[in-house]
Amino acid sequence: MRAALPAPLRWLTSNPIWGFVALVFVFFSVTTDHFFDVGNVSNILLQTSTIGLIALGMTLVMINGNIDLSVGATVALAASLAVDIQGWPVFADWGNWALAPAVISGLLAGVAVGALNGLIVWKTGVDAFIVTLGAMIGVRGIVFIYTGEQSFYAMNFAYSDFGASSVGPLPTLAALFLVAAVLVHILLSRTVHGRNTYAVGGNREAAVNAGIRVGPHMLVNFMIVGFFAALAGVALSTQMGASTPNLGREYELWTITAVVLGGTKLAGGSGTIVGTVGGVLAIGILRNGMNLMQVPAFYVLVILGLILIAVLFLDKQLNRRGAEELRT
Amino acid sequence: MESAATAGRLNGVGSILARQGILIAFVLFMVGFAAFSDRFLSPENVTAVVRQAAIIGVMAIGVTVVVISGNLDLSVGSMLSFATVLVVDLHDQIGPGPAILVMFLATLVLGAANGFLVGVLRLNSLIVTLGMLSAIQGLTLIYTGGQNVDIADQESTWFAIFGRGHILGVATPILMFLGLAALMHVVLSSTPYGRRVYAVGGNPTAAVFSGIRRSRVVFSTYLISAFATGCAALILGSRVMGSQNNVGQGYELLVLAGVILGGTSLLGGSGNVLKTVVGVLILGFIQNGLLLLGFAYYVQWLVTWVVIILAVWLDIAAKRGRLLSPIA
């Protein structure tokens, strides 16, 4: 019976989140006045770009069977560095070029946090959940110490202008997210590294036997998620023209929510970027649409939580791979 | 014994060091702090530390039971916000007694929801309680409408006993913390129920084959966790005599840090409530000691990072008999 399904429907059964995205999109287009509007749609993309960028890297790490709880703290670290360093007296006569060392340091800090996480997971064999839980607390501590609990403001207006700029109809940051999504999609589906990502998450023993160096492989993926968390932090600070030490709090939770909605399994071995982008959009559209319907933000939290649990339940019902499991 | 069998690079002294590493580190910390600060080991200071650690500690006792049975509970932080807001707000409306009753009922209902989803429907506990974290946060905000709540008559209410009072000369928070720990320790180590919790976490299949109703056991662990969180809310609400609606934000991970530091494995099947008490107290004493030595407040977060990873690493190293992971 399954084989008889037309191609688009078959695609939809493997990416049910896009069915949900289409559903809520149509729902809000019909029920609210300003939802179906080029301005609003690009607004949704802009609002989701931060979580979206992190989710791209998180997908790789989660397909590996790992997790990264430190991304929210990395967002704050990168944003604080990028906004602070551009104002350093050393760069006073660099003009707009002062943004380059600032942004680069922010991104490098993210890569460094990822590398440290990856190295610890590789060398000690401690579960990634615990390693990155530690890093989440520690990196947030570094942010508070570095900033002296202060917010920083970008004195160079070119910085916040970038956050508000557009490429054609698309906000630059939304375009950045979409380009990054395409790149990570290619990395995951067309390269050896991508194939290894699934192999390591699916069956680590087999991956080792196939000659994949699991440790360094996981290290690279942690560096990638660190990079994307830092990029998200920089992007967020260009939007705000500022950084606060509490930036990115609970982003790890939202990101994991988006990735799981997109069909990536916590156990590792499966997941796609197409699904993750669907998960990110689902959250973005719900938040935006309910906002337009003037549903208080509080209800959105409840509804998102319930949807996450419902998706998990449906997924279990649809893919009864565990049907032979003991019932008690 | 284990490490002798798999004699790797760790043997003799190395193994003992690795096994008792966290206790040794704890003693070194204590001696170090005591050498540099006269006040550190004074009875007043020690009492103050235990008292402050009581809220995290009480919650950690409940979460330990959940983790031993092989699951996670990330919803305790927002459940703490919810319970505290509820008991404080109802205090002035229906009196302290009924308020406490309603608070415990509501908290147990949330715990039952967790227990039903994880225990009966067998959904992944990390995602379920992540969804509940968001949903309960929303519920709290809906209840308060975003306002903070407080108790008008703070002087004469007997509700003050939980956070500010003494029973038999001991501060009530300490009594609740250590009392609950002793009670749970007895339940886990010397009752059939306790053995079932370990069995379900250690080897679910074997547990089911030996006639244990896994879903019931898992369900009950979430009730225990919710009850413990309710107790924590009593202490917190009574101490502050008011509450912000995000007061418990981030507590779930601090609680988990204490549990992990106590040596409970996230894989389930092993762990000990009394060691959780030690884990929570280590975090408390480190925080207090660093402050007494004049370090900036957030340095404790950095130290927590290092301590968590070292503790788990040494534990794993002692079990496998090698310091470094065998991952290629």
Q: How far is B169 from chain A (nearest CA, A)?
A: 36
User: Would you call B137 and A301 a contact, using CB atoms and an 8 Å cutoff?
Assistant: yes
CA distance linking residue A245 with residue B177, whole number of Å: 32
| Smallest CA–CA distance from B316 into chain A, residue | A126
The average confidence (pLDDT) of chain A is 89
Interface test with A, best of B301, B313, B320, B322 (most A CBs within 10 A): B301
- Listed in sequence order, the DSSP H helices in A86-203 are 99-124, 128-147, 157-164, 172-190, 192-202
CB B67 within 8 A of CB B224: no
Element (H or E) spanning A243, and its range?
strand A242-243
3-state secondary structure (DSSP) of residue A155? coil
Residues from chain A contacting residue B137 (CB–CB below 8 Å): 301, 305
CB-nearest partner of B313 from A124, A142, A303? A124
User: Would you call B308 and A312 a contact, using CB atoms and an 8 Å cutoff?
Assistant: no
Q: Who has greater pLDDT, B315 or A261? A: A261
Judged against a pLDDT cut of 80, whether residue A326 lies above it is answered with no
User: Would you call A137 and B308 a contact, using CB atoms and an 8 Å cutoff?
Assistant: yes
Residues of chain B scoring pLDDT < 70: 1-22, 328
Query: What is the residue-wise DSSP string for B154-192?
Result: TTT-GGGHHHH-EETTEEHHHHHHHHHHHHHHHHHHHSH
CB-nearest partner of A124 from B205, B250, B325? B325
User: Would you call A250 and B266 a contact, using CB atoms and an 8 Å cutoff?
Assistant: no
Q: How many C-beta atoms surround the C-beta of residue A70 within 10 A?
A: 30
Q: Where are the extended beta strands (E) located within B33-169?
A: 149-150, 166-167
Judged against a pLDDT cut of 90, whether residue A324 lies above it is answered with no
Read off the pLDDT of each residue in A297-305 and give the average, rounded to a whole number.
85
Judged against a pLDDT cut of 60, whether residue A83 lies above it is answered with yes
Q: Is B118 exposed, middle or buried (0-12, 13-18, 19+ CB in 10 A)?
A: buried
ipTM of the complex model: 0.85
CB-nearest partner of B123 from A127, A140, A316? A316
Residues from chain B contacting residue A301 (CB–CB below 8 Å): 134-135, 137-138, 141
pLDDT at A1: 46
CB-nearest partner of B328 from A142, A213, A300? A213
CB-nearest partner of A304 from B117, B134, B298? B134
CB B318 within 8 A of CB B19: yes
User: Would you call A266 and B300 a contact, using CB atoms and an 8 Å cutoff?
Assistant: no
User: Would you call A298 and B214 a contact, using CB atoms and an 8 Å cutoff?
Assistant: no
What secondary structure letter does DSSP report for B169? Answer: T
CB A103 within 8 A of CB B233: no
User: Would you call B131 and A122 a contact, using CB atoms and an 8 Å cutoff?
Assistant: no
Residues from chain B contacting residue A266 (CB–CB below 8 Å): 124, 126-127
3-state secondary structure (DSSP) of residue A170? strand
pLDDT at A190: 94
- Report the alpha-carbon angle B43-B46-B52, nearest 5: 135
Q: How far is A9 from chain B (nearest CA, A)?
A: 27
Model confidence pLDDT, tens digit, residues A196-234 = 999 999 988 899 899 999 999 999 999 999 999 999 999
Residues from chain A contacting residue B262 (CB–CB below 8 Å): none
Judged against a pLDDT cut of 60, whether residue A58 lies above it is answered with yes
pTM for the whole structure: 0.89
CB-nearest partner of A138 from B209, B260, B302? B302
User: Would you call A130 and B308 a contact, using CB atoms and an 8 Å cutoff?
Assistant: yes
CA distance linking residue B208 with residue A79, whole number of Å: 50
CA-closest candidate to residue A34, choices A319, A251, A289: A289
Q: Give the residue carrying structure tokens 């019931």.
A: B216
